[in-house]
A and B are shown apart, each in its own frame.
Chain A
Amino acid sequence: MTTVTEAIARAHREQWARVVATLARRYGDLDIAEEMAAEAFAAAVERWPADGVPPSPGAWLTVTADRRALDRIRREAKRGRKHQEALMLSDATEPEPLGVIDDDRLRLVFTCCHPALAMEARVALTLRMVGGLTVPEIAAAFLVQETAMSRRITRAKTKIKAARIPYRVPSREDLAARVTGVLTVLFLIFNEGYLSSDPDKDAVRADLTAEAIRLTRLVRDLMPADGEVAGLLALMLLTEARRASRVSAGGELVALAEQDRGAWNRELIAEGHALVRARLASGQRPGRYQILAAVNAVHTDARDVRDTDWSQIVALYDQLAALDPSPIVRLNRAIALAELDGPEVALAEVEPLPLDGYHLFHATRADLLRRLGRSQESRAAYDRAIGLAVNTAEQAYLIRRRDQLAGP
């Protein structure tokens, strides 16, 4: 019985997206694809314990879902509703091969992450259609009412159908921008899991980072040649590797310099490093995620914080600033610069940044001012940072740092 349960769970993990994607292509309808995939898995739960696990679970599930879809369409045709030809999402003009695997699942990913959909709809739809999470699971992960989440997904599906958002890998001219869009969705899912601190929701949120990594692995399998996909996966792995040491038992954020590096996940770090090395070896100009992954590779390479190669990190942020001259990139560069050239140089870089509403700007100023012995200014900056931070673990950390300041 347990082995059957495991087989069903594994099939769900490995085959859900494939079943949905195949049906979506065949019937041109995400609703039918989603519902029939769910029915096929329900049928597996019912039948596999008695009949045994079929030799090819994926094929069994697809055939079962397909049969049910046909039944449903026939039933509806009989009721006088117009028989829908499978044209709605399908695409007569196949794009030329792009060096990517033309997998139905990839079409599904691009459709769910279409830029004409609101970002929150893209996230929800990707988790439902590609990830196979249930609506209650997604609602819980984003702290949204189930009915609201259900509406959000339904609205997105309706728009896809009515506006004819195509079910295909984008054309060459759109591809780069659309891949970036997909990665944004995946990174958002990851960060939603990673940056949360609500202790009651922790378990669900941890699932979300795992889910983001799983989805990114899938996209990487589908687009193995894309450097940014590899970069994002590496970035996630190297971040996830530090999860256990990132929050203390007392629920306080632990700064990178103070983390127990022995508790970092060596396996994830090794995988992340291998990805970063492969990207470096490719000789191609890295994009944003590859650079951020490289920064994290430098951090996770150091057995002790004092061994960190800060000049390498500053150089990487210089590279990133050339792609994206945003103040946040410059803030991160300044934090690394403080380790290289001291807090005074860094503070001069930080002060003019237009980030007054950003808690990390004030937290960084507070730390630099503390190191310069300017306690009073540091305290004021900590106060601003604490007021702006929403994450309770981060607040706890900042409060402790503030209260450790010398003098009144």
Chain B
Amino acid sequence: MAQYLMSVLTDSTELATEAEMETIDVFNDQLIANGHWVFAGGLASPATATVVDGRDGEPVLTDGPYVESKEHIAGFWIIEAADLDVALRLAGQGSKACNRRVEVRPVLQEDQADQADQA
């Protein structure tokens, strides 16, 4: 089993509508029932972000997201799936449920960490 981050992409600050919330709930229930569920959440708008740099002495705080972009991440799932084919199928269903595009990225596993740098 591998874990994947499914990020919900959007270019608007509109939150999910009630109808979208309902289909998302149905999708979430399916994820749980089929053993794919790890975690999920919606995110407040990028304007509410604070960037913290604690690398050098007292943390330095910056108001706003680390990069201004047209699109941002409105929410995410972390799922468990046997392979990318399964993850992509779930992402397709998730995208439909939340009515937004979804980016799928594998969560690095211990046995892969040493190869990640080659990417």
Contacts and interface: CB of A to CB of B under 8 A. Distances in A.
B33 interface: no
B51 interface: no
Most buried by B among A84, A154, A164: A164
Interface stretch (A125-133, A166-174, A181-189, A217-225): A166-174
Contacts of A92: 82
Interface string B58-79: 0000000000000000000000
B102 to A, nearest CB: 13
Interface residues of B, number: 20
Most buried by A among B85, B108, B114, B116: B85
A164 B89 CA distance: 14
A116 B84 CA distance: 9
Nearest to B106: A163
A265 to B, nearest CB: 40
Contact of B118 (A82, A154, A174): A154
Given A164-B2, A165-B84, A166-B84, A158 B115 contact: yes
Interface in B96-111: 104-106, 108, 110-111
A82 B110 CA distance: 10
A81 B87 CA distance: 29
Contacts of A164: 2, 82-84, 87, 106
Interface string A147-160: 00000001100110
Nearest to A157: B118
A155 B118 CA distance: 8
Interface residues of A, number: 23
A158 B110 CA distance: 15
B83 A162 contact: no
B115 A91 contact: no
A163 to B, nearest CB: 5
Interface string A225-264: 0000000000000000000000000000000000000000
Secondary structure call for the B interface: helix
B108 A162 contact: yes
Interface string A72-109: 00000000011011001001110000000000000000
Contacts of A116: 84, 88
B111 A84 contact: yes
B42 to A, nearest CB: 25
A158 B119 CA distance: 6
Interface of B: 2, 82-85, 87-89, 104-106, 108, 110-112, 114-116, 118-119
7 contacts: A92-B82, A161-B115, A164-B82, A164-B84, A165-B85, A166-B82, A171-B85
The 5 nearest A-B residue pairs measured at CB: A166-B83, A164-B83, A163-B106, A158-B119, A163-B84
